[in-house]
Structure 1
Amino acid sequence: TFFVISSATSLRSSSPDIGTVEAHIKFQIAKCQGEIGEKHTALKTIESISSRFKTPSMLVWIGKVYSDCGMERGTLHNYREALRQNSYSIQAALGLLKQHIPPEDINDLCVSSKIARKEDLAWITKLVDAHGNYRASKHKQALSLFTQLEKWFPNHVHILIQMASLHLQLNDRNAAIIMFQKARAADMKNLEGMDIYASLIRYQEDQTRLNSLTKELLDVNDKRPEAWIAVALFCDLKGDRLSAVQFVDKALELDPNHLTAHHFKGQLHLRLQQPEQSVQSYYRAYSIRRDFNAYHGLVNAYLKIPKVGEALRTAKEALSLMPKDARAMLLVGRVLSQTPGDGRKKAIKAYAKALKLDALCYEAAIAFADLHLLQHQQNPHTDLQPAIGVMTQSLQHHNKDFMHCKLGELHTTAMNYPDALTHFHRALSLNSEFEPARQALERLEKLMRGVDPDAEEETEVEDGENGDYLEQDV
């Protein structure tokens, strides 16, 4: 390194372009140092370049390294300078957004540059606004802006990926999958967002398709975290959660700030009954980006410990950040349902507010129904009609097996057996292997014959027929 830099320096006077050559050489050296993990050394190397020879691409790279090192001042300076030199430096603009710089300030910086005319920057200011709305959890506004951008730039992979992710935030998994598939068709070599796409396939429990996607991503680039997150998801689908954690850790070695990796690691720790470690993972995600997934994971982990006070504080913070997001209101309700005193009454009100914010939020409808069922167990005089009404209305938008099953449970508890029978059969017609509906139907048929299913189960346990199973369960 010393020989190369010294040689370039000694030639400085022999050519008018030697300063540019030296800057290029030092930049390549710094990138190599960064690749082997010597980021602070890389910064020293590149900061030795005269500012007049630093190009926008150099400045963006320096800004990212400063960001990785947690050095905010250097990050902001280099991203801003990159935009001053080139208004079209999208990476610099998005980098500033990650540093919580308001979109309007970034757009003002773009427009103030002499490189481009204001009318030519309409698309980049709209892109900044779209990402700004996304980061502020204004998902509908962000999706609208990205949809406009997609009309200007059809089949642009980055825009399609953002639209897919936003559809997922808005709880429309089918639309998200369609957008991810369009992105894959546009560029099979793209890895951006493919870990999120893999998570959707894992949710569908499609082992064959997930295995195929995982192999394709590894073939494209096994030095990117997305590929290893897909491997981790495949292990999780097969039930090997310990291996899944190891592969997520490999993804984090490649990119310590990869948001999806921290989210998934937190989820895995929860499933492994390790809530304290789950809190650590979700808090790391929270420090990178305060989105709903981070808040949701933290609340789940705190409740599992249990730290109900911390869970409530976190849920309320999410609601203050996303006051019009039904999921945030639902999160508050979930914590309230586990607090003593009149917590359950407050939770029911929170679920009702969530449904007012978004009538399509089926999770709020199910939570509303579950809490009514729980109250009915403790007080048989509890009126179940409000819950039946909410579930019936929600079912019009979400014709799913689990929705019919939940409504069937409500009707069973309310002794509306014919209606319960209809919904259990409907659930099984949608998914013949849906075990909760099958078991609920068997229970209902016993009730309709005048047989007490609970008493019968107790008799079977006393006879020892299920003794081995119960022992394994414990």
Structure 2
Amino acid sequence: MFNLFVNLYVKVEAIIGKNDEAIMNFEKVRSIDPYIVTYMDEYAMLLKIKSDHSKLNKLVHDLLSIDPTRPEVFVALSVLCEGKDERGTLSNAEKSIRIDERHIPGYIMKAKKFYESALRLEPGYLGAALALAELHVIEGRNGDAVSLLERYLKDWADDSLHVKLAQVFAATNMLQEALSHYQAAQRINPQNEAAKKGLERLEKQMKGVDPDALEEEEENEVDDADGEQIETELL
């Protein structure tokens, strides 16, 4: 149970862009329990980002010997095939979904192949680029997401493009860059709600305040007020 908790913590590190720390902690978990499979597909994705092919190969070999029936194993295989065997990438992602249709990383790999194919057929398809960038962020590939989106800035004056870039920069604590893109989005479309809300969150971040903590406090205050109103009505 402890290892599962640590794995979940490491997964969060990857989501917020702390890839090196996440890799180091995944390795610690494996040293404690070499037979753990849960979230090891996430570890495989991080090794792919770092181009650590020897560790990725060993991880996949180990997972296959531990339990070849788990969806994480086929996602890891899909990651291993990525860039070398596109059919294998898609096939293994689909196998992971057949084993467990609730296993999200399998869908991520499958969706990536779909959007990459769409962009090969139509490189200027901004919708596919935005969707693929979101998948990169989910995988912890924030740098890849930024590189992809910035290629479209020259040809697209699009508020959603700037909002997505701002969100990625904000998630990696590059707050000035995030501010610049939120402001650009508002100049293009002053009615963009995502830009407005993003700026509100960003202002809190720039003051060193956790915006999510404030939202939770506000929700609790609303719940308390509702509870008091119900008690008054009962009296």
Higher relative contact order (CA 8 A, sep 6+): 2
Aligned pairs for 1:1-400 (under 5 A) are: 156-236=2-82, 238-274=83-119, 293=138, 308=158, 315=164, 325=171, 357=205
CA distance in 2 between counterparts of 1:271 and 1:337 reads 27
Does the aligned pair in 2 maintain the 1:214–1:230 contact within 8 Å? yes
Deviation at 1:337, TM superposition (A): 5.7
What is residue 211 of structure 2 aligned with on the other side? none
Q: What whole-Å deviation, never above 9, does each CA across 1:16-49 have from its counterpart, x for those lacking one? A: xxxxxxxxxxxxxxxxxxxxxxxxxxxxxxxxxx
CA distance in 2 between counterparts of 1:278 and 1:265 reads 15
What is residue 223 of structure 2 aligned with on the other side? none
Q: What whole-Å deviation, never above 9, does each CA across 1:227-273 have from its counterpart, x for those lacking one? A: 0111111111x532332122111111112221222223333333334
What is residue 427 of structure 1 aligned with on the other side? none
Change (3 A) 1:201 1:326: closer
CA distance in 2 between counterparts of 1:213 and 1:242 reads 21
Higher CA-based Rg:
1
What is residue 74 of structure 1 aligned with on the other side? none
Aligned pairs for 1:452-463 (under 5 A) are: none
Deviation at 1:194, TM superposition (A): 0.1
CA distance in 1 between counterparts of 2:157 and 2:37 reads 38
The residue type equivalent to 1:183 in the other structure is V
Change (3 A) 1:210 1:280: same
CA distance in 2 between counterparts of 1:168 and 1:187 reads 20
CA distance in 2 between counterparts of 1:247 and 1:336 reads 42
CA distance in 2 between counterparts of 1:339 and 1:267 reads 29
Identity of aligned residues (%): 17
Deviation at 1:191, TM superposition (A): 0.9
Q: What whole-Å deviation, never above 9, does each CA across 1:389-425 have from its counterpart, x for those lacking one? A: xxxxxxxxxxxxxxxxxxxxxxxxxxxxxxxxxxxxx
What is residue 53 of structure 1 aligned with on the other side? none
Does the aligned pair in 2 maintain the 1:315–1:332 contact within 8 Å? no
Q: What whole-Å deviation, never above 9, does each CA across 1:183-214 have from its counterpart, x for those lacking one? A: 11122221111001011111121222211111
Does the aligned pair in 2 maintain the 1:163–1:179 contact within 8 Å? no
CA distance in 2 between counterparts of 1:249 and 1:328 reads 36
Quote the RMSD (CA, aligned, Å).
4.7
CA distance in 2 between counterparts of 1:308 and 1:261 reads 31
TM-score by length of 2: 0.57
Give the SS at the match of 1:272: helix
CA distance in 1 between counterparts of 2:131 and 2:95 reads 17
Deviation at 1:178, TM superposition (A): 1.5
CA distance in 2 between counterparts of 1:247 and 1:157 reads 26
Change (3 A) 1:327 1:266: farther
TM-score by length of 1: 0.31
